[in-house]
Amino acid sequence: PTLEKLETLPRAWPPTVACLRFLAATAARSGEARFATWDEVDLETRTWTVPAERTKTKREHVVPLSTVALEALDVASLYSKSSNGSGPLFPSPTGKPLSNGAMSKITRPFEFTPHGLRASFRSWAAETGVPREVAEAALAHSAGALERAYQRSDLLAARREVMEAWSRHIS
Work out the pLDDT band at 146, boundaries 50, 70, 90: very low
Least confident interval from 3-7, 42-46, 144-148, 167-171: 144-148
Average pLDDT over residues 51-65: 92
Superfamily for the 3-170 domain: Intergrase catalytic core (1.10.443.10)
pLDDT value of residue 153: 59
Q: Which residues are paired to 47 by β-bridges?
A: 42, 64
Quick: pLDDT tens for 4-19: 666 666 668 899 999 9
Q: Does the pLDDT value for residue 160 go beyond 70?
A: yes
* In the chain, % of residues over pLDDT 70: 84
Is the distance from CB of 164 to CB of 27 less than 8 angstroms?
no
Q: Does the pLDDT value for residue 161 go beyond 90?
A: yes
Quick: pLDDT tens for 67-119: 999 999 999 999 887 656 778 999 999 989 999 888 888 887 777 777 788 89
Map out the domains of the chain as residue ranges: 3-170
The per-residue DSSP string of the chain comes to --HHHHHT-TT--HHHHHHHHHHHHHT--HHHHHT-BGGGEETTTTEEEE-GGGSTTSS-EEEE--HHHHHHHHHHHTT---SSS-SBSSB-TTSSBPPHHHHHHHHGGGT--TTHHHHHHHHHHHHTT--HHHHHHHTTPPPPHHHHHH-----HHHHHHHHHHHHHHH-
Nearest to 156 by CA among 130, 131, 129, 137: 137
Work out the pLDDT band at 151, boundaries 50, 70, 90: low
Please list the active-site residues: 29, 56, 115, 118, 141, 150
What average pLDDT is seen over the chain?
86
User: Which pTM value belongs to this model?
Assistant: 0.86
